[in-house]
Structure 1
Amino acid sequence: MSALMLDTYREVITPEGVPLHLPAAGPIPRALAWGIDFAVRVFGLLLMSIPLAFLGDFGQGLYACLMFLTMWAYTIVQEAIWGRTLGKRVLHLRVVAQDGAPIGWMASITRNLLRTVDMLPFGYALGLLSSLFDPHGRRLGDLVAGTVVVHDVAPPFATTLAIDTVLAPPQPLQPAEQAAVVAFAERAPRLSSARQQELATIAGDLTDAQGQVGVLRLYAMANWLLGRR
């Protein structure tokens, strides 16, 4: 029964053993987002076709190129840069890596190119079956790319402390270090202020601060790691 739930929080265990709670999105909001994106692309192509119709064969060739770019680059570029398309933005969805980190170009290209497989034999049938039975609601493209679509809701600490500052780490972080910073931001609201500051002190070399200032800087770095720029 749980495999058929359309929308629910699911705990993801990173390779470092850190639990992250990702509100994975089911097929219904994802389908609505896809519908919005499809409508935007069709409308854009319709607008471009009007002036190109007066350019004869050259206009037809240019329109074919623009159609290819619109249908493929539209999703690849937006998800690689912002983690979501216009449709996902409207539905408050975001594509992230399995560990909750922002996705890159390769993951975006992979998951979008494999839409052709998810569409088989018709109407996204394979993708729908995969998302219904996968514990994280992933279609085949997500499984191969190592991505998951989640509801882009504010994290618990954002509602508790209204932390919206973004701060890039002063140095590259290893995956385990990134996971530790994000895990701190998720768990800190359930800890006392003294315990938060005690944990932040451990990361003093990273934040270059102590006490509450160190806590706030860790929150800001977690925002940056989660792509909330």
Structure 2
Amino acid sequence: MTRPPPDTVRVVVTPEGCELVLRLAGPAARARAFCIDALIRFLVFVAAATLLGRLGSMGMGLLLLAYFGLAWGYPVLFEVFNAGATPGKRLCGLAVLRDDGTPVGWDAAFLRNALRFVDAAPVGYAVGLVTMGLNGDGKRLGDILAGTVVVYRGMKTTDPGGAAAVEGVEPPPFPLGTGEQRALLEYRRRAALLTPERALELAALAAPLTAGLPPEAGRARLFRLADFLLGRAVRGRD
């Protein structure tokens, strides 16, 4: 599948000298993702209403909880636990990241979605669209205050030593916290700056992600996990 052309390119330089090339998504791509998510939430709500409607007043109470969860929990949970991507964003090849290119956490995901009602005012996300047009990163108010950007998945990372290419990606076997995700990404970026022995030693310490694996296999698995979080499949050097 051909990657869509970037709306805006932003380069973030990490303290280790790595460059993250973020391809910022514009209003059109984000609108497509929003419509897909809205359709998914609508279908889930209709299914819940059909089932819970048979339970009388208790069913109505549960339906209100389901509505709240779909309106607020749906985007926050997916952005935190699914590498910054709701189902709509994933289908459109998008993801939410912090301004420095690291994964979003609970604070950023909650803040950017809590302010969605302001961006949606007065109708048709008018405030959000105007705000996106007034700043170079295409941010709505929620993104500005949360310190987040919406990017095309598949960032390129360059570093002084050149990180080793590993074929394929692998999702984490269990949810990783924000600190754990950052540590994994930093290991991926810094690996080329370490001696082979030190890189293998650090990989062996990353249990339970590398438990039972030989050092080389453990390092390769950490790379695949990091590439999954970055939303890219590395199949060779450019």
- Verify same fold: TM over 0.5: yes
- Which residue matches 1:7? 7
Q: What amino acid maps onto 2:116 in structure 1?
A: R
Q: How does 1:26-175 map to 2 (within 5 A)?
A: 26-82=26-82, 83-153=84-154, 155=156, 161=165, 163-164=167-168
Separation in 1, partners of 2:225, 2:48: 42
- Which residue matches 1:189? none
Q: Are the aligned partners of 1:181 and 1:221 in contact in 2 as well (CA < 8 Å)? A: no
Q: Are the aligned partners of 1:48 and 1:63 in contact in 2 as well (CA < 8 Å)? A: yes
Q: Are the aligned partners of 1:102 and 1:227 in contact in 2 as well (CA < 8 Å)? A: no
CA gap of 1:177–1:156, structure 2 versus 1, over 3 A, is closer
Separation in 1, partners of 2:185, 2:72: 31
SS at match of 2:23: strand
Separation in 1, partners of 2:75, 2:34: 10
1:13 offset after TM fit, Å? 4.3
* Percent identity of paired positions between Structure 1 and Structure 2: 38
Bigger proportion of residues as helix: 1
Q: What amino acid maps onto 1:223 in structure 2?
A: D
Q: Are the aligned partners of 1:16 and 1:176 in contact in 2 as well (CA < 8 Å)? A: no
Q: What amino acid maps onto 1:22 in structure 2?
A: L
Separation in 1, partners of 2:187, 2:220: 15
Separation in 1, partners of 2:60, 2:166: 52
Separation in 2, partners of 1:224, 1:92: 13
1:163 offset after TM fit, Å? 3.5
- Which residue matches 2:230? 226
Q: Deviations over 1:78-112 (max 9, x none)?
A: 10111110000110111111111111111111111
Q: How does 1:195-214 map to 2 (within 5 A)?
A: 199-201=193-195, 205-208=198-201
Q: Are the aligned partners of 1:25 and 1:149 in contact in 2 as well (CA < 8 Å)? A: yes
Q: Give unpaired runs (5+ residues) of structure 2.
A: 159-163, 173-178, 203-215, 234-238
Q: What amino acid maps onto 2:92 in structure 1?
A: L
Q: Are the aligned partners of 2:119 and 2:125 in contact in 1 as well (CA < 8 Å)? A: yes
Q: Are the aligned partners of 1:24 and 1:148 in contact in 2 as well (CA < 8 Å)? A: yes
Q: How many residues get paired?
A: 203
Greater mean deviation of Cα atoms: 34-43 or 9-18: 9-18
Q: Give unpaired runs (5+ residues) of structure 1.
A: 186-195
Q: What's the TM-score, normalizing by structure 2? A: 0.69
CA gap of 1:129–1:74, structure 2 versus 1, over 3 A, is same
Question: Pairwise CA RMSD of aligned residues?
Answer: 3.7
1:181 offset after TM fit, Å? 4.8
Separation in 1, partners of 2:31, 2:139: 13
Q: Are the aligned partners of 1:94 and 1:151 in contact in 2 as well (CA < 8 Å)? A: yes
1:28 offset after TM fit, Å? 0.6
Q: Are the aligned partners of 2:153 and 2:230 in contact in 1 as well (CA < 8 Å)? A: no
1:228 offset after TM fit, Å? 6.7
